[in-house]
């Protein structure tokens, strides 16, 4: 694999900050979950279209049948991730929902092991457990095992599993396709799935207040183009497990934004949990980077020997 002049960890950090705005924009919109998710990806595809058709459309001829299958699966998983997560925000708090959605390591470690034979060292696994523990600490203060909040938590967990599948299938083809081609393809597939979903649910595609249309566009630009697209770029250089761990920072950013913009309280368990997450993620990324350097050194030694 070739080297990149841009630090992939810096790009990953910008992506996490960008997606932290998503829950806030969903909370303030009056549109149903399916419609909100559709317009988010529809406007994203529209914004990407000029660049894609001017420079990257020819790359579609190089996509194999296996790539198409994986892209479709990734697109479907992404579509229903958005549906379930947006719906969960109608029942539970920003903090609880984002925490549960970002518990991706619980699913990513299993999926990466079963499908791609990725392995982690003991140190990396302990760091992951520490970060996940931090997520539970954040949610402890407002995690209610009853009524509508419980249903929102279940939806968020299901959304978490789906976005992990989206990343796993994306990792398999992102290393062979350009960022623009892969991203455009998956977002377009997701848009079609969401459009069909909205029609079958009889959810109106309009009219909506002017504010909602602004939220649709902002969702397309900030958490999608700057967020998920940067995650897709990172897939070429970093593992799914690393990206999933870094996304655990999202509840911290979302909780801060919810406090300032929506008036949701930030309690001590969220502060403590955020600190634990930062420690766990940092240790994980350090260990992952150390292992990557070791593999490169061994590869260089073998090459020199030949």
CA dihedral of 190, 218, 81, 93, whole degrees rounded to 10: -160
Helix, strand and coil content of the chain, in percent to the nearest 5, comes to 80, 0, 20
Query: Does residue 1 belong to any structural domain of this protein?
Result: no
Which whole number is the average pLDDT over 54-63?
A: 87
What pLDDT does 37 receive?
94
Locate 154 and state its tokens: 């279940």
Domain-embedded: residue 196: yes
**pLDDT score of 271:** 79
Instruction: Give a yes or no: residue 3 inside a domain.
Output: no
In a domain, 219, yes or no: yes
Residue 2 forms part of a structural domain: no
CA dist 156 and 104 (Å) reads: 11
User: Is the torsion defined by CA of 84, 85, 89, 92 positive or negative?
Assistant: positive
Q: Taking 60 as the threshold, does the pLDDT of residue 145 lie above it?
A: no
Residue 147 lies in a domain: yes
- Checking if the pLDDT of 232 tops 80, the result is no
As for how many domains the chain has, the answer is 1
pLDDT at 21 > cutoff 60:
yes
Query: Helix (H, G, I), strand (E, B), or coil: what is residue 31?
Result: coil
Range of the domain at 244: 8-305
pLDDT of residue 176 exceeding 80, the answer is: no
């Amino acid at each position: 694999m070739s080297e990149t002049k841009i630090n992939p960890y810096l790009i990953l950090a910008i992506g996490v900050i960008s997606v932290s705005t998503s829950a806030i924009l969903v909370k303030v919109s009056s549109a149903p979950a399916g419609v909100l998710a559709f317009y988010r990806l529809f406007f994203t595809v529209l914004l990407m279209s000029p660049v894609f058709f001017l420079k990257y459309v020819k790359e579609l001829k190089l996509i194999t049948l296996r790539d198409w299958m994986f892209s479709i699966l990734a697109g479907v998983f992404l579509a229903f991730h958005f549906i379930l997560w947006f719906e969960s925000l109608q029942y539970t708090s920003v903090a609880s929902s984002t925490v549960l959605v970002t518990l991706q390591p619980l699913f990513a470690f299993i999926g990466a092991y079963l499908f791609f034979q990725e392995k982690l060292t003991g140190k990396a696994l302990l760091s992951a457990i520490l970060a996940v523990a931090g997520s539970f600490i954040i949610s402890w203060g407002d995690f209610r095992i009853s009524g509508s909040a419980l249903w929102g938590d279940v939806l968020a967990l299901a959304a978490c599993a789906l976005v992990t599948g989206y990343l796993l299938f994306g990792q398999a083809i992102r290393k062979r396709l350009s960022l623009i081609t892969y991203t455009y393809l998956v977002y377009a597939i997701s848009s079609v799935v969401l459009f069909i979903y909205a029609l079958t649910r009889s959810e109106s595609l309009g009219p909506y207040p002017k504010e909602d249309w602004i939220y649709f566009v902002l969702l397309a630009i900030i958490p999608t183009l700057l967020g998920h697209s940067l995650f897709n770029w990172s897939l070429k250089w970093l593992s799914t497990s690393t990206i999933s761990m870094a996304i655990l920072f999202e509840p911290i950013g979302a909780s801060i934004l919810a406090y300032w913009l929506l008036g949701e309280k930030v309690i001590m368990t969220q502060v403590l949990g955020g600190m634990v997450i930062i420690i766990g993620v940092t240790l994980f990324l350090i260990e992952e980077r150390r292992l990557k350097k070791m593999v490169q050194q061994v590869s260089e030694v073998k090459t020199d020997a030949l």
